[in-house]
Amino acid sequence: MTLLRRVAASFFATVALVLILTAAAIAVAVRGFDLTIAGAVSLYFVVWWTLLFAVLPFGVRSQAAVGEIVAGSEPSAPSAAGLNEKAIWTTVVADVVFVLAVAALPLAGL
């Protein structure tokens, strides 16, 4: 079992890792690029939320595809969404995109 899957197996470990990675990215933006804390948190939230919707469909298999349809649910509903892993991956990708975006702000004159 990979480290990512071991961390994602626990809700609290996932939340802790996401918060640590998020705080690190925001600290880089505040200290390295003179962004305010409120501005960094706001921009990070927008980047993270946008990327979450990009990452959500990856690896999802429907109940119909798996062959285990829960009574009363839509057959196209996901069988196992893997939201903890997706939260971690979203945070890792959002950290990179966020730092690159913050680094590009002075180049744009902002």
Residue boundaries of the structural domains of the chain: 3-108
What is the per-residue pLDDT for 110?
63
Give the C-alpha separation, 18 to 28, whole Å.
Answer: 16
| Predicted local confidence at residue 80, as pLDDT | 78
pLDDT in tens, the chain (110 residues): 588 888 888 899 999 999 999 999 999 999 988 889 999 999 999 999 999 999 988 888 888 887 888 888 888 888 877 888 999 999 999 999 999 999 998 877 66
Q: What is the pLDDT of residue 94?
A: 96
As a residue count, the chain comes to 110
